[in-house]
Structure 1
Amino acid sequence: MSREPLEHYVSPAPFNPYTALELTPEQERYYMASQWRLVWWKLKRHRLAVISGSFLALMYLIVIFAEAVAPYQLEARHVDYLFAPPQEVHLFDEGEFRGPFVYGIDVTLDMERLQWVYEEDRSQVNPIRFFCVGNDYPGAGYEFWGLFDGSFHLVCPSPDAPMFLLGTDRMGRDMLSRIVYGARISLTLGLIGITISFFLGITIGGVAGYYGGVVDNIVQRTIEVIRSFPMLPLLMALSAILPVTWPPTLIFLGITVLLALLDWPGLARAVRSKLLALREEDFCVAAQLMGAKPGRVIMKHLMPSFLSHLIASATLSIPTMILGETALSFLGLGLRPPVTSWGVLLNEAQNINYVVLYPWLLYPVIPVIMVVLAFQFLGDGLLDAADPYKH
């Protein structure tokens, strides 16, 4: 078997690491991006999470400008329209386009059933106005956040006739306006509660995960004891302790703190498990050798490594607080009038007769469901995006 002379062999080109590692502009942009930018890119691909986040942003915008969004003041009463049903919005009247409007309301009293009967009066066409300013109808003026007087409304009725798009309650108060004002309390309570829970979870879970040993055992046993109690009965028992004589502001703060005190164990466990895995990493040991104190090591070096996971977990915890407040207020153990929340509004629907005769009193449950689902979808998307290298 013949062999070719050695000069026929061509030696391969020497390995150049700089050429081998050359990246395209897209690859370089991806690999050089910060963690938050990677999370944002991943989150944008989760359409349901983006839609949910946009919806929640709109809801919190409504919370800020509730007085302008609601057609009437919170306690504005229409004594001639008790338990009025929702009015239907029309665009055409006898084939002619008139824009959004509602027909007038014809009220009669049924003496046999002792019940008010409401019918459309098609002879009255009352246009729905947008971006209106002025006090040209009862219940228009308000104090914005209790700071200054205002009269601007995003949607408002005709000056000649009232408008009840979601009906009225037993005192003739507009349900749409009360649901808008109730969002301010229910959604704010969730944010304040998760802030307190976030602080407790990071502090207690961080100490347990960083030090371990006896400290970790004490924290873990405490968490297990707290988690062993049924949530709703425990909340009911604790909220019943709050004095009835307390003003609404203190009741609000008390319910918020109670919800936060029962929610922090889950977040603390997540923080503890992450710190146990990261405290032996080189960057943590280097910080310790350079003389950094435990608080600085935890907050400056360890927490940023999994902060996106914590934010996702906190997002999933907010619905629990909203549902907790709604359940307590529905049972009469949470917030009480004159404070108005979605749970307080649903408290009136406990009477089965009201539910049968006036089903629109259950409408406050719709925003509760929508907000809870939106937080769940957003939390799932954030949890997915928190590890942008996973896919």
Structure 2
Amino acid sequence: MNGDKLEHYVDQAPFQPGQDDVLTPEQERYFRASQWKLMWWRFKRHKVALWSGVLLLLIYLTVPFAEVIAPYTANARDNAHLYAPPQGVHLFHEGRFVGPFTYPMIAEPDLANFRWEYRIDRTAPQPLRFFCAGEPYLFWGLVEARFRLVCAPEGGTLFLFGTDRLGRDLFSGIVYGARISLTVGLIGVAISLTLGIVLGGMAGYFGGLVDAAIQRVIEILRSLPELPMWMALSAALPVTWSPVLIYIGITVILGLLDWPGLARAVRSKLLSLREEDYATAAVLMGARPRRVIARHLLPGFTSHLIASATLSIPTMILGETALSFLNLGLKRPAVSWGVLLNEAQNLTVVTVYPWLMAPMIPVIIVVLAFNFLGDGLRDAADPYA
């Protein structure tokens, strides 16, 4: 069966009663397909969204293995390479294939400008080490290990994105920072989704006083500017809290401030769906409101909820990045993309050491990928497409 021909029926009406007496195999499969299968066929036609989903999957797969992928630990310092520029990886030396290697960087003081200047020694290539034993670390903070995917050459360095003012490798920081920056969005959306479904479902199903009370709360929260609210609540977190508690606090703050939009979408859907015959039949059969909402109404627009949640994740990632950048969120020794960007607050530093802005690259890529993925899911979940 031709899959492309079958997917063509997703967006066009393949059969009109009275026109055909017998359904073709493609038409029969289309009419027998479930809601999720139809959504998948539509989503596959959105190539940008599909590849964005693949990219995000690959990025999230690196999160559990940050210690193995990064050549250094997140807070490891190299006092001999402060503000070192990005170090290139080469394959050929003087026309001869050597394999992946780096050239040594020699630091020389610039007394006129009071900074270090680095000279590349191109006479001594230093091969990289793969599947090697590097600096010891605690895998997920539990098991001590030394195995790494790639290590710096013996007696050499591997600074793919350069180092900061304390000689900490930016590439390793970005890999470690993905663990916090990416999971903040997922956990925050889980909180927001739960509150949005519960409160929006109550408002849409019961109506009356319950609906009016929840709507007034939503209007109050949506009238407050998001960034100042994030800043105020984050600044209120005790400075004595550990990085783990600060991480949990920021995640809860982002989730609590993001649910009103989702709750309003759930309310509007339930207001129309509760009048359907199947919902009335469930009530007449004695089903409780919780069962009617959870088993009969919510499944009707679950795909819409997934698309809405996907579009909310980049907002939370940007929220955590902004708070940490402004020094109101996470701080060292915790590492996130916002914490790394905190080093780039000084304009003079940025102009002299532009590689300190490297953490912006994964932020831009992830946010754009989530937006493309959310657009694709929203179009695929639209029953009127």
Give the TM interval when normalised to the shorter protein: over 0.9
Counterpart residue number, 1:76: 76
Q: 1:134 aligns to what?
A: 133
1:363 Cα offset (Å): 0.5
Secondary structure at the aligned position of 1:370 is classed as helix
Single out whichever of 98-107 and 182-191 deviates more from structure 2.
98-107
Q: What secondary structure does 2:149 align onto?
A: strand
* Alignment partner, residue 8 of structure 1: none
Q: How far did 1:321 drift? A: 0.4
Counterpart position of 1:213: 208
Secondary structure of 1:122's aligned partner: coil
1:360 aligns with 355
Q: Which runs of 5+ in 1 are unaligned?
A: 1-16
2:375 to 364, 368, 380: 380
Query: What corresponds to 1:10 in structure 2?
Result: none
Residues 132, 150 of structure 2: 8 Å contact kept: no
Counterpart selection for 1:279 from 263, 266, 274: 274
Kindly provide the amino acid, as one letter, of the partner of residue 44 in structure 2. K
1:200-219 Cα offsets, whole Å, 9 max, x none, are 00000000000111211111
Matched, 1:121 2:121: yes
Q: 1:162-181 maps to which residues of 2 (within 5 A)?
A: 162-181=157-176
Distance in 2, Cα, partners of 1:247 & 1:101: 40
Deviations 1:247-279 (A, max 9, x none): 111111111111111100000011001000100
Question: 1:89 Cα shift?
Answer: 2.0
Instruction: Give the letter for the 2:379 counterpart.
Output: D
Q: How far apart are residue 19 of structure 1 and its match?
A: 10
Structure-2 residue corresponding to 1:158: 153
Could you tell me how far 1:20 is from its partner in structure 2?
A: 5.0
Shift of 1:18: 10
Q: How does 1:306-321 map to 2 (within 5 A)?
A: 306-321=301-316
Distance 2:154 2:67 in 1: 18
Residue type of the partner of 2:337?
W
Shift of 1:64: 1.1
Pick one of 313, 336, 341 that aligns with 1:341: 336
Taking every aligned residue pair, what percent have the same amino acid on both sides? Answer: 63
TM-score under structure 2 normalisation? 0.93
Partner of 1:262: 257
* 1:233 corresponds to which of 228, 234, 238: 228
- The residue type equivalent to 1:151 in the other structure is R
Q: Which residue of structure 2 aligns with residue 7 of structure 1? A: none
Please name the residue that 1:57 is paired with.
Answer: 57
**Greater Cα radius of gyration, structure 1 or 2:** 1
Structure-2 residue corresponding to 1:244? 239
The whole-number CA distance in structure 2 between the counterparts of 1:107 and 1:51 is 42
The alpha-carbon deviation at position 91 of structure 1 amounts to 2.0
Letter in 2 for 1:40: W
Deviations 1:195-248 (A, max 9, x none): 000000000000000011121111111111100011101111111111111111
Structure 1 residues 19-30: aligned runs within 5 Å: 21-30=21-30
Scaled by the length of structure 1, the TM-score of the pair is 0.92
Q: Give the letter for the 1:85 counterpart.
A: P
Please name the residue that 1:6 is paired with: none
* Matches of 2:291 and 2:103, distance apart in 1: 65
SS state of the match for residue 151, structure 1? strand
Q: 1:20, 1:352 → 2: CA distance?
A: 70
Unaligned runs of 5+ in 2: 1-16
CA distance, structure 1, for counterparts of residue 201 and residue 147 of structure 2 = 48
Compute the RMSD of aligned alpha carbons.
1.4
C-alpha separation between the residues in 2 aligned to 1:326 and 1:19? 58
Structure-2 separation of matches of 1:290 and 1:175? 62
Distance 2:248 2:138 in 1: 23
Count residues with an aligned counterpart.
Answer: 369
Partner amino acid for 2:201? G
CA distance in 1, matches of 2:155, 2:143: 27
Alignment partner of 1:143 is 2:138: yes
Counterparts of 2:380 and 2:170, CA distance in 1: 38
